[in-house]
Amino acid sequence: MGTENFRKPAVCPLYGAIGGDIVGSCYERHNVKTKDFPLFSFRSRFTDDSVMTVATADALLHHLDFGASYRKWGNLYPNAGYGGSFRRWLDDPVPRPYNSWGNGSAMRVSPVGFFAKSEDEVLKLAKASAEVTHNHPEGIKGAQAAALAVHLANTGADKGRIKEKMESLFGYDLSSRTLDDIRPDYAFDVSCPGTLPVALLAFLESADYEDAVRNAVSVGGDSDTIAAVTGGIALAFYGEMPREMISAIDERLPADMWEICREFSASFFGTR
């Protein structure tokens, strides 16, 4: 693939988003407004964010249509917590995009950021991954922003460069507020405009992968998806996560999902 200019995470790249999803899963409906919380419990599990992240990677690896891959994996794991519109899309004999601007397009897109060779390819693939369901301009923009942030992080951009790109290309305000400003009043919001700035700030204000995920969960709201988006970017940037987090993810992933993680990692980074 010509990855000589790419950072090479010491763990499967998909674990960035999956780890955020699993950590955030038990806090989605039971928000915490602090960074001091247990990362994992018996209630921690993968949700639709992880399933669809794996589906995106499967599509990229095996040259599948994104929509076909999402339907394949969604029907393999029908109880992963999908939104109502996506659930109906999975069940529709003739599925059509439903003009969503929800954050589902961003939660699943991190593999594109690792896979693509250029910024143009990131934007093209992210759009294709989004528009099979989330064909609203904000749904597409959210996917493109999340994927490009991963790509920039993975190709050596510093946080200042990533922030500038997110503000100039996508218009997200990452300068006028901090997480401390947002946290007290932030409520459940499944839109891309309500999710991406928060997820990006959680990364920008972090010191390492675990800190980024703790930032994301501490804001509240749609905790698993915010943390999945943040986690994908954070792993691309920092290149590692604590060994205990890797073990906790390994324990919770079924064999078919783990196999796609292994294959994606081996194909592009030679890890795991």
Q: Using CA atoms, how far apart are residues 137 and 31, in angstroms rounded to an integer? A: 29
Mean pLDDT value of segment 189-210: 98
For the chain, the domains span 15-268
Q: Does the pLDDT of residue 2 top 80, yes or no?
A: no
Backbone CA torsion sign across 116, 54, 86, 221: negative
What CATH number was assigned to the domain covering residues 15-268? Answer: 1.10.4080.10
Neighbours of 84 (CB within 10 A): 7
Q: Does the pLDDT of residue 3 top 50, yes or no?
A: no
Share of the chain above pLDDT 70, in %: 95
**What local confidence, expressed as pLDDT, does residue 267 receive?**
84
Q: What is the pLDDT of residues 90-139, one digit of tens each?
A: 999 999 999 999 999 999 999 999 999 999 999 999 999 999 999 999 99
Q: Does the pLDDT of residue 9 top 70, yes or no?
A: no
Q: Scanning the structure block, which residue is given the tokens 């959210």?
A: 142
Q: What is the pLDDT of residues 208-250, one digit of tens each?
A: 999 999 999 999 999 999 999 999 999 999 999 999 999 999 9
**Count helices and strands in the chain by DSSP H and E runs:** 15, 0
**What local confidence, expressed as pLDDT, does residue 8 receive?**
59
**What local confidence, expressed as pLDDT, does residue 10 receive?**
74
What's phi and psi for 191, nearest 5 deg? -85, 155
**What local confidence, expressed as pLDDT, does residue 269 receive?**
60
**What local confidence, expressed as pLDDT, does residue 254 receive?**
97
Q: What is the pLDDT of residues 58-77, one digit of tens each?
A: 999 999 999 999 999 999 99
**What local confidence, expressed as pLDDT, does residue 6 receive?**
56
| 185-218 as b/e: b if 16+ CB within 10 A | ebeebbbbbbbbbbbbbbbbebeebbbbbbbbbb
Q: Using CA atoms, how far apart are residues 130 and 259, in angstroms rounded to an integer? A: 24
Average pLDDT, the chain: 94
